[in-house]
């Protein structure tokens, strides 16, 4: 796909509405996996109603917080995974709250949920029953271990899911920790895997609905999604047959690694002979890398002996100088970019990947778009994560009779 010119004088092609314009999503999910799937749908234009308990999604209470801190509207996790949604607060412990939810589901295209089968049954939202009642509804569930099987109802946390999937093994290897207490990458980095898998499966179900006229039950297990996305670690464990080796203690090595430059850091990866030769060429063919006959010494023989020289060479140059030198000599490398550098890069500016979104409580910030563009459809207008219950009255009004929204709020049904 070619990038449209940024010159406003050049006419742009006529675009159709956002890809998922006209679709409605009801989200009954918290924290990361389910909300991320719904966020991707919202970014593509779907109207997305987020159902929250009176005290809100648990993500609202997850640190770190933007200013003011702490505040239920300023959790960075909450802000990141809930753009372009409407917040509807329902007390599902009340009969009236459950009735309103069921009516909202009856009028929607997609139900996104992370509730276990037992919890869905208690809400009268059993997926098989819903499919019979509403043949075109897509019920999309992302749960720790799936909707079926002996583990379907097991409780879990991000830690147990990371280890049940094997995804935490890479953290242990990177830290050289072959024994000891379990470890896990921070910021729930594996949790979005389930949301990505669910969004893709929903898209496929939408295509199937257009072809065959009926919806689907989409069942994603977070642990399965993590295993599917974490191919490198599983391949290493399968082929090595044992715990991964302890990495070098230094940041860089004869094979590359993390290199400190005069103005930042860079990652170089040179496990193959021609890549090692490229690194040596980029350094100006230092004498220590060659034997008495002028032949390049195999990197396995030098090992850590070359680390100090490589690090000294990198520290004397800027990150860009080291990157360009390695790149031009076929030695794989990449600069370690600060978040501000990524957001302000010319490439992302041209792609329009980051939107500046205003928020009534949190500071205005840049938020990533959907990571795809479509040549025939406009990008959907976006908004920051909603205030708790900000759409409760408007969305539930048709379903509250004989109550008014004010009466329902006083009764504790909506918030």
Q: What is the pLDDT of residues 168-184, one digit of tens each?
A: 655 555 545 455 555 55
Per-residue pLDDT tens over the stretch 173-220: 554 545 555 555 555 778 899 999 999 999 999 999 999 999 999 999
Q: What separation in angstroms does the CA of 216 have from each of 45, 232, 312, 362?
A: 21, 31, 59, 38
Helix (H) or strand (E) holding 102: helix 95-106
pLDDT beneath 50, residues of the chain:
1-6, 175, 177, 240-253
Spell out the domains of the chain, with CATH numbers in brackets.
24-232+352-410 (3.40.50.10540), 252-339 (3.30.1540.10)
pLDDT of residue 253: 47
Rounded to a whole number of angstroms, the CA Rg of the chain reads 26
Rounded distance, CA 261 to CA 316, Å? 7
Angle between the 191-212 and 222-229 helix axes, to the nearest 10 degrees? Answer: 100
Q: What separation in angstroms does the CA of 247 have from each of 130, 173, 175, 177, 267?
A: 52, 8, 8, 10, 15
Rounded distance, CA 272 to CA 266, Å? 19
Is residue 319 a contact partner of residue 327, using CB atoms and an 8 Å limit?
Answer: no
Q: At which residue do the structure tokens 């720790």 appear?
A: 144
3-class DSSP state for residue 300? helix
pLDDT of residue 3: 41
Is residue 142 a contact partner of residue 37, using CB atoms and an 8 Å limit?
Answer: yes
pLDDT of residue 168: 61
Q: At which residue do the structure tokens 């399968």 appear?
A: 238
User: Which pTM does this prediction carry?
Assistant: 0.83
CA nearest 359: which of 15, 58, 87? Answer: 87
> Which residues lie below 8 Å from residue 283, measured CB to CB, with a gap of 6+?
289, 309, 310, 313, 325
pLDDT of residue 339: 85
């Amino acid at each position: 796909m070619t990038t449209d010119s940024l010159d406003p004088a050049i006419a742009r092609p006529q675009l159709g509405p956002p890809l998922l314009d006209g679709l409605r999503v009801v989200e009954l999910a918290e924290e990361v996996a389910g909300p991320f799937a719904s966020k991707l749908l919202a970014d593509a234009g779907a109207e997305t109603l987020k159902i929250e308990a009176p005290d809100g999604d648990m993500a609202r209470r997850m640190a770190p917080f933007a200013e003011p801190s702490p505040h239920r509207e300023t959790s960075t996790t909450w802000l990141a995974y809930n753009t372009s949604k409407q917040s509807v607060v329902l007390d599902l412990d009340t009969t009236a709250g459950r009735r309103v939810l069921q009516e909202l589901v009856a009028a929607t295209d997609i139900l996104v949920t992370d509730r276990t089968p037992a919890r869905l049954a208690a809400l009268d939202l059993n997926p098989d029953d819903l499919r019979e009642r509403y043949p075109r509804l897509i019920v999309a569930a992302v749960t720790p271990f799936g909707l079926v099987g002996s583990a379907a109802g097991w409780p879990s946390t991000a830690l147990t899911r990371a280890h049940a999937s094997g995804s935490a093994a890479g953290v242990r290897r990177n830290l050289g920790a072959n024994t000891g207490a379990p470890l896990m990458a921070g910021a729930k980095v594996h949790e979005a895997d389930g949301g990505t898998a669910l969004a893709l499966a929903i898209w496929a179900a939408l295509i199937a609905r257009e072809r065959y006229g009926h919806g689907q039950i989409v069942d994603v297990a977070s642990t399965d999604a993590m295993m599917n996305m974490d191919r490198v670690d599983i391949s290493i464990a399968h082929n090595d047959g044992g715990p991964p080796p302890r990495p070098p203690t230094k940041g860089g090595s004869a094979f590359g690694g993390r290199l400190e430059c005069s103005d930042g850091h860079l990652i170089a990866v040179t496990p193959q002979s021609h890549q090692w030769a490229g690194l040596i060429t980029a350094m100006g063919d230092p004498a220590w890398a060659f034997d008495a006959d002028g032949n390049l010494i195999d990197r396995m023989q030098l090992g850590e002996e070359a680390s100090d020289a490589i690090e000294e060479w990198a520290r004397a140059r800027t990150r860009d100088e080291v990157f360009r030198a390695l790149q031009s000599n076929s030695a794989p490398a990449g600069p370690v970019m600060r978040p501000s550098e990524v957001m302000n890069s010319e490439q992302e500016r041209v792609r329009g990947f980051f939107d500046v979104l205003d928020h009534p409580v949190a500071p205005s910030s840049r938020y990533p778009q959907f990571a795809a563009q479509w040549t025939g459809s406009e990008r959907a207008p976006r908004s920051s994560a909603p205030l708790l219950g900000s759409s409760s009255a408007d969305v539930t009004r048709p379903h509250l009779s004989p109550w008014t929204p004010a009466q329902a709020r006083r009764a504790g049904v909506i918030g």
